[in-house]
Amino acid sequence: MFSVIRHSRAEEEDSRTDLLLASGSGRLAPLAAALIVTALVLVVAGAGFATALVIGGLEPVPSILLASAIVGFGLVFAGTTAVIAQVTTKARAARGLVGVVIGVSWVLRAIGDTLTARVREGDAVARIGGDEYAVLLANVSRAEADRIAGQLADAIAATDVATAGRHMSVTASIGIGMIEQSTAGADEVFVAADRAMYAAKPSGTGR
């Protein structure tokens, strides 16, 4: 991400922006070139990674899928940076927003790793949007669900997230939706859990 910013916004820091914008290449030429170079680097790196996985004994199809996911992930960040580069007026502001995006992504990844490590075998964890995660617990009573939810909240609060030399603490509000015989579908469970989560927020963090 910082590479895209450096190659698309660095010109304005040495007073060459006006010259570049006045040329026939246009203002989007540096950004387009940075994205193309980034995409090529990601594709080459992905191909090398997939090859290494196959050499290491992993089947070709899973190797290609994993490498493709990593390349796609990189392209999403590059595209996000391209948008940031267009909506900001200064390179410093662009770099600041990129840092925010990286920090938020790092926090979300840390929370996901914490949840995945704490649930039981057979349970499932998924991020469903923004900073919201869903945890599917198999064969539990309401009392067991409450206990596990408390453990997950404590685990998240104990997670030390370090990014850019700074340490951050994260807390979570958790809502529970039970799947009963009368449950009409997954939407009903998500709505119940969502309402319970928002009801827990006024009680304080880590609830």
The reported pTM is 0.61
Segments making up each domain of the chain, as ranges: 2-87, 107-203
pLDDT given at position 2? 55
Tell me what percent of the residues of the chain surpass a pLDDT of 70.
Answer: 81
pLDDT given at position 20? 45
CA distances from 151 to 106, 144, 147, 187 (A): 22, 11, 6, 25
Tell how far CA 191 is from the center of its chain: 23
Pair 130, 144: CB distance under 8 Å: no
- Assigned CATH class of 107-203: alpha beta
Contacts of 168 by beta carbon, 8 Å cutoff, 6+ apart: 107, 160, 161, 162
Q: Supply 40's token pair.
A: 């090529």
Per-residue pLDDT of 98-130, as tens digits, reads 777 877 887 888 888 999 998 888 899 998 888
> CA–CA separation, 185 vs 198, rounded Å?
21
In 3D space, the residue among 181, 160, 178 whose CA is nearest the CA of residue 169 turns out to be 160
Pair 151, 157: CB distance under 8 Å: no
> CA–CA separation, 35 vs 6, rounded Å?
11
Q: For the chain, 207 residues long, give each residue's pLDDT as a single digit of tens.
A: 556 555 555 555 544 445 444 444 455 666 777 788 888 989 999 999 999 999 999 899 999 999 999 899 888 888 888 888 777 777 777 778 877 787 788 788 888 899 999 888 889 999 888 888 999 998 899 999 999 999 999 998 888 776 656 677 788 889 999 988 777 788 888 888 888 988 887 776 556
Contacts of 113 by beta carbon, 8 Å cutoff, 6+ apart: none
SS3 call for 124 = strand
